[in-house]
Structures are given as structure tokens and as C-alpha cells.
Amino acid sequence: MSPTAHILTPREVPDAAVPRLIEGAALADYAGYLTDESRRSGRAAALAFPTTLSEVSGAVRLALARGWDITVSNARTGIAAGAVPEGGLLLSLERLSRVTGLRLDAAGNLVLRCQAGVALSEVQKSLRRRSFQDSAAWSAASGEALEALRQKTFFYPPDPTETGAAIGGTIACNASGAHTFLYGPTRPYVEALTVVLGDGRVLDLERGACRATPEGRFGVRQPDGAVCWGTVPHYAWPRTKNAAGYYAAPEMDLIDLFIGSEGTLGIIVEAEIRALPAPEARCAVMTFWPDEAAALRFTRAVRGRRHDLGLEAVEYVDPNAMALLRRRRAALGAVSGVPECLPAGAGSAIYLDVGTTSARLEAVLEALCTAVAAHGGDPEVCWSAVAEDERERLRVFRHALPETVNAMIAEVRRQHPGVTKLGTDMAVPDEALEAVLALYRSRLDEARLPYVIFGHVGDNHLHVNILPQTPDDYDRGRRLYREFARAVVAMGGSPAAEHGIGRLKTDFLEVLYGADGVAQMRAVKAVLDPGGRLGAGILFQGARPS
Ligand SMILES: Cc1cc2nc3c(=O)[nH]c(=O)nc-3n(C[C@H](O)[C@H](O)[C@H](O)COP(=O)(O)OP(=O)(O)OC[C@H]3O[C@@H](n4cnc5c(N)ncnc54)[C@H](O)[C@@H]3O)c2cc1C
């Protein structure tokens, strides 16, 4: 590899335009932009909605000139308060919302070029309908790729539950979801990025083009032609799902530094994302289990066969969650989204999504029934849904659980506004699944705190939702949350597997990587954003990186 393959070379944007700034009293009309789904509220000196790359660059230069920090926001669906400003310039990319072209790669996958503000739901809908709102303005080559798309259905695998999230936000957070079990998180689907750095220059990053040296070194060319050298982090990246801090791997592709960096290294303005040919046949299956032990044995049995069976997702509903769903059905009837006929002896449930060929579907379902019977379940009481409307009913059922939790917290907040949702986001390696569940239960039961557990059991990534009734419950729940984070790290896992660190979980970085690991991250930031103005207060506590 030539030495320049380790050096990032940003370009200048001549005559960068400055977008209109919303400042002072005018900001009062934009209060919604000062918060995100974490419900934390912030403040900003100014807000801007750039509509071009040039305007993003111009806004950054203006912020520098005025000594402002810069917070990037996209769809504001984040739950770690990363899009909530604490002063300075709030840069909303929601008006950069066009898909600007398509191409087919050598493997026959479709690569979409999207501006950062395009909603994930829009990408999925356009791929399903095989038509794009802005295609009239595309190049001839993109038009030809669109014709190819009309012969075949494609889909974009990253699937955080919240499809209102924007492409830029999902890349900044390396978002993942239930289907990460088969397809992995956002990272492997990002082929190229256009990023504005903290000095207003632009980096065009292409996967495979620029890597760290074997010693982990990388350079950034400065405006005067000199190269500033840095070292990528060398801490051990957990063997589990992980959305905490800067990615680290030997000779890593430098595009991966920016994916998951939560707006602290650069502003993602455009991205090329890879869509895959969609499975011909899809099926959703709900299996019921007498108890947790049987459900976990079944999980262990089927997850090793994920590729063979086309298992896209393996999701758990624990006994407390089943009881909560039954109560919801009893209280609300059909509008609860919970079917009347939940099997009587069902103590827990495992939900599976299958994506396969039409020819294989029956054999896959048979294999699943055999596995259910072999591990103490009854195939006769399993539910399966192939038609889209039936799958949608099962989806509504699954979503009844987080909705019920949210409604319960909202109810408590009426009396105790300081209480917020206490949902963990931690993953452990395969061998620690039973141990972590035993730990959660023993500590929560000892503390007499109500809770439900559900989520991505295939990836050993279960969300524990503590349901505090009082401020005292809430404080004790928060302390347990921190205790679980340390225990999960000791097991080799991640305390922030999916939702990122943002401004709310900055202490978890040191728990995971140690003080030295955080220093390695700060050193990367100091090379790419020497002024420390991008996303100040996100990932790192306290003083600016030096
Ligand atoms: C009901 C619900 C369910 C959710 N489920 C999941 C889930 O299953 N999996 C999951 O991963 N997440 C989930 N989330 C969290 C959230 O949807 C994701 O983190 C998502 O990736 C955020 O995208 P966004 O566009 O809303 O980003 P924002 O909230 O606007 O920003 C999030 C962070 O990314 C940075 N950022 C945003 N855009 C850019 C950009 N263009 N360039 C640089 N930095 C940027 C921001 O500064 C901030 O730090 C859920 C949220 C909700 C409300």
C-alpha cells in the first residue's frame, strides 16, 4: 500500500455559503429542535438548516469564527441526548433529504447515494416500491441502475426499531436492531461518506481506499500541506454488539472511525449505502415456552443455524413481560394489540423472523417445529405469519410491549416528573447469556424493583426495563443500571450495545475501555477535530480533548 493510503486528504470548499441563522428570540419557535427522544432539553446560540455541502462547510467556518461548539442533529430519535445542544451552533441536517443516485456494485448489490437527512423509512419504502422521489434529476448511469432495480427487489438491512431515524444519524450511531442478528449493524453497509471536518474542509471517504498502518498510524493532511499523524485506538473491541466509542481494529479502514462516532469527528453530509437482494419469502414465527430455561435452550439450538435457516431475528419476551402483556389485554381488550388467545401455559416467548426462498420456506418451518418440540415447547401452539398483513399483526403484538412500558413510565411521571425510562442496552458474549440473566434477576428481585426483560436474545442483547414507581425506586434502579454495566464489561460485553453513549452515558466509556482507552479516543479526536468543537460534551466528560 502506498504511504498516501494512510493519509486522509480533506479538500477546501471555495466560497462556502453560509445558511440563514436562526438566533435570539426567533429560536423560541424551534423548541422541538432543542430536545430528542431522551427528553432532555438543551440550548443553542443559533440554529441552521443547511441544504448543501457548501452550506454545511460555511456554517462550520462561521461557528469557528464565533467560537461556537457545534452539535449535529438529524431526525432527533436518539435516546442518549447526542442531538441536544449545550450552547453554540445547532446544525440540523433534516433538509438534506434527497437520494441523489444509484449504482450496482460488482457483486450485484445496489448502492444508494443519500444525503444525511433521508429517513430510513423513505429508503425502505422507495426500495419496496422500486421508485425514488428525486430520480428525475439523476444521472443517466443512475437511471440505468434504477431499471435494474425494477427487475429485482432490494432491501437495506440496518433496522433500528425507530424507522423515522435519518441515514446520517444511523451511520453516526452505527445503528442496529433485531435483524442485526443475521445482517450485522449499519457499519458494513456504508460504502462511502462525504464528511465536513471541524475546520470546514471536506473529506471524501471510500471504503477500502485509506487504512491505518500496521502500527495503527494515520495522517490528516493540513491546509499548509504538512501531515498531522495520529494513532487509531488499540483497545479490545467487545466480541458483542457495541455502539460505544470509536471503532478499533488492526489496520482498520479509516471510514470506520467516522461510523459510530456520534457527530464528534465529522459531519456526515452524504453517504453511499449498500442494499441487498431481498429474500424471496418471509415468515414471522412466535414460539411459546413453559419457562425461561426452555426458551434459552431453544435459542442456543437455533442460533447456530442462522444462515442455514435464514433466521433474521431471534427476540425474547420474558415471564414478567408476558404477565404484563396479559394484564394489558385484560385492561384494554383488542386495542391492546395483544391477541386474546395467548396460550395458557406460556411463561415466555421467542419471536423469529425468517427470510429465505419460497422453495425452502416449508422445510425451514418444519425444522423450527422440530426444534421447538425437542426443547420442551409445543409446535401446535406456535403462531406463524407469512402474508404481509399477518406479519404486521405480529409486529404490532411485539411492539405492544415497549409501548406498554412507555405508557407506564408516562403515568408515573405525572406524579414524579424526575422519573425517566430505565432501559438497559447491554450485550454479553454467547457463553454469558444465562449468567447475565441470573444476575439481572437476583439483583432486581433483591431490590424489589418491578421490571420486564425483552429483546435481542439471539445477540445476547436483552433490554432490562426497570419500572420505578417512586423517585426512590428510580434512584435505586439507576444504581443497579451502573452495577450491571460493570458486570457486563467484566463478562466481555458492552454496556452500550445499540443506542450509543451520547451525553447521558459518558461514564460508560471508561468502564468499558479504561482511562487509557478514553485517552486513545481523545487523541484521535485531537487529530481530526483539534479545536474540539464538534459534538463537545458527547462521548467525553469534562474538558475539551487536548
Ligand atoms: C422508539 C425508539 C426505538 C429505537 N430503537 C433503536 C434500535 O433498535 N436500534 C438503535 O440503534 N437505535 C434505536 N433508537 C435510537 C435512534 O433511533 C438511533 O440512535 C438513530 O440512529 C438516531 O438517528 P437520528 O437521525 O434520529 O439521529 P439524531 O438523534 O438526530 O442524532 C443522534 C447522534 O448522531 C449524531 N448525528 C446525527 N446526524 C449526524 C450526521 N449527519 N453527521 C454526524 N453526526 C450526526 C448527533 O450529533 C447525535 O450524537 C430508537 C429510538 C427510539 C425513539
Write the CATH number for 471.
3.30.70.2740
Q: What is the CATH number of the domain that holds 535?
A: 3.30.465.10
Domain for residue 333, yes or no? yes
Answer with the one of 352, 379, 402 that is the final residue of a domain: 402
Nearest CA to ligand 1 atom 28: 76
Does the residue 176 lie in any domain? yes
Q: Is residue 546 pLDDT above 50, yes or no?
A: no
Which of 517, 508, 452 lies closest to 482 in space, CA to CA?
508
pLDDT for the residue 543: 54
Residues 173, 306 within the same domain? no
The reply to whether 438 and 387 lie within a common domain is no
267 plus 322 within the same structural domain: no
Q: What is the domain range of residue 462?
A: 416-500
**303 and 360 fall within a common domain:** yes
CB contact set of 348 (below 8 Å; sequence gap of 6+): 288, 289, 291, 292, 294, 295, 316, 317, 318, 319, 321, 322
Angstrom distance (rounded) from CA 35 to CA 58? 24
Does residue 338 share a domain with residue 239? no
**Phi, psi (rounded to 5 degrees) for 427:** -125, 145
For 326-450, strand residue ranges (E) read 348-356, 383-385, 422-423, 426-427
Distance 543 CA to ligand 1 centre (A): 25
Compute the distance between CA of residue 440 and CA of residue 274 in angstroms, rounded to an integer: 38
Tell whether 408 is covered by a domain: no
462 assigned to some structural domain: yes
pLDDT in tens, 384-437: 999 989 998 888 888 888 888 888 888 998 999 888 889 999 999 999 999 999
Residue 335 has pLDDT above 90, yes or no: no
Residue 61 C-alpha to ligand 1 middle, in angstroms? Answer: 25
3-state class of 140 per DSSP? helix
pTM summary value: 0.96
What domain count does the chain have?
3
Contacts of 357 (CB under 8 A, 6+ apart): 279, 280, 281
294 lies in the same domain as 251: no
Q: Is 78 in the pocket of ligand 1 (CB under 6 A)?
A: yes
- Could you tell me if residue 524 is inside a domain? yes
Q: What is the DSSP letter of 343?
A: -
Based on the fold, state whether residues 243 and 207 are members of the same structural domain.
yes
Written as one letter, the residue type at 263 is G
> Is 224 domain-assigned?
yes
Same domain, 202 and 270: yes
For residue 303, what is the domain's CATH number? 3.30.70.2190
**144 and 265 assigned to the same domain:** yes
| 217 and 334 both lie in a single domain | no
Answer whether 73 contacts ligand 1 (Cβ < 6 A): yes
The protein residue with its alpha carbon nearest to ligand 1, atom 20, reads 170
What is the band of 544 on the pLDDT scale with cuts at 50, 70, 90?
low
| Residue pLDDT, tens place only, 121-170 | 999 999 999 999 999 999 999 999 998 888 889 999 999 988 999 999 99
Give percent of the chain with pLDDT exceeding 90.
85
Claim to verify: residue 158 and residue 286 sit in the same structural domain: no
Same domain, 395 and 525: no
Ligand 1 in contact with 70 (CB < 6 A)? no
410 located within any domain: no
